[in-house]
Amino acid sequence: MHSDNLFAEDELLFSGEEADESTVNALEPWMVLIVDDEPDVHSMTKMVLGDFAFEDRPLEFVSAHSGKESLEILKSDPSFAVVLLDVVMETNTAGLDVARRIRNELNNQFIRIILRTGQPGFAPEHQVITELDINDYWQKAELTSRRLTTSMTTALRSYRDLRKIELNRESLAQMAKSVAHQIRNRTMTINGFTNLASRKLGPHSEASEYLETISHETARLEDIVNSVSEFAAIDRCDHCSADIKEVGEKAIELCRGMANELGKNVHFDIDIVAQNIDSRPDLLSKVVFELVSNAIVFADEEQPRVSVKVTVKGDVCMLVVSDNGKCISSEDLPYIFDPFFTTRPEAVGMGLSIVNRIASGYNWDIDVSCSDEGGAVFTLQIPL
């Protein structure tokens, strides 16, 4: 591949007004990673995009000459806005492998990926667009300077919008924590004065029933606040290593105690293989606890049974939690992961929302179906 095939000769010159250089240089640049094993491609890309600016911010380029090198750079610095990614490098599908690992292993959903290839036969466009989370796909022979700048503008606009959405989400999470803190302080005060009034008036007072109701509703409000706080606290699904067997068994022990509190003599069928997965141990524990406790609650009242199985098939670890109660109705199914949705008046309805939040943060797939016994089956697929 030669550099003169990369861009049409008549499109290397840009028209229009030039940006004020002092303004552009004063703003933080957009980080762009060029990944290609051809040095000429790096030089030509920098030449064409050297004067490019989006929202008065210039581009800053970093070069990688292999898929492996690009992943090392992205692991150490996740602030890149765009990656211009060659398909054929150390292997015929190196670029495709990098694109998958950016989304699934590095868990970077913000960076915009523009694939470029000089050998489209190794990566048919329809297949790539369908199977990979990329933002643009070009054959190098067809990629003129105008198309490259247009593609870069679209990618940066998309990256900017995603970052704004994430910042808004973080702001809302912080506000939720602050509101929860304020409400918790008030509920503690209300509950304290309620207990004080109850002791002064005595158990046979006419107001004792009302005071008991106030205390009960205050406790429910505290449960809601705690659940919202837990949900808001899931700010980052960091990459760690957790043994699903060790973490899962500890979480199940907590669930056994919960079952005893509910007065349900649950028969547990536990079969968990040892497997390290990419997850914070506390978040993985929360997922297992919420799924198993949900199964306990909805298991059959007379002979409750809960099954927890973990298997590994290829590059996927599967966690399956099921019960022998009634399956989720088709009317309720679309809403079970929504915050505060519950079919139990005494429940808060945040457990499965927390599970879904963590699963989304790690790009795990979660599916719900009915077992042969009629109960609900939650299947979590965790990429290894």
Among candidate residues 6, 61, 4, 7, the one with its CA nearest the CA of residue 35: 61
Per-residue pLDDT of the chain (384 residues; tens, 9 = 90+): 444 444 444 443 333 334 444 444 468 999 999 999 999 999 999 999 999 999 999 999 999 999 999 999 999 999 999 999 999 899 988 999 999 899 878 888 899 999 998 876 666 666 677 778 888 888 888 888 899 999 999 999 999 999 998 888 788 778 877 888 888 888 889 988 998 998 888 888 888 888 988 988 888 888 888 888 788 777 777 778 899 999 999 999 999 999 999 899 999 999 999 999 989 999 999 999 999 999 999 999 999 999 999 999 988 999 999 999 998 988 988 899 998 888 887 788 889 999 999 998 888 999 999 987 789 999 999 988
Tallying the residues shown for the chain, one arrives at 384
pTM: 0.64
**pLDDT number for residue 153:** 96
For residues 7 and 39, the answer to whether their CB atoms sit within 8 Å is no
**pLDDT number for residue 18:** 45
**H or E element that contains 180:** helix 145-201
The class that CATH gives domain 3-167 is alpha beta
Do strands 57-64 and 53-54 pair parallel, antiparallel, or not at all (unpaired)? Answer: antiparallel
- Domain range 238-384, its CATH number among 3.30.230.10, 3.40.47.10, 3.30.565.10, 3.90.1640.30: 3.30.565.10
**pLDDT number for residue 140:** 84
Separation CA 131–CA 94 (nearest Å)? 15
CA atoms lying within 13 Å on the CB side of residue 378:
28
For residues 267 and 228, the answer to whether their CB atoms sit within 8 Å is no
Q: So where are the chain's domains?
A: 3-167, 238-384
> Please, which residues have CB within 8 angstroms of residue 268's CB and are 6 or more apart in sequence?
252, 256, 305, 306, 307, 308
**pLDDT number for residue 205:** 84
Separation CA 354–CA 341 (nearest Å)? 12
Among candidate residues 224, 281, 278, 221, the one with its CA nearest the CA of residue 248: 281
Distance of CA 107 to the CA centre of its chain: 8
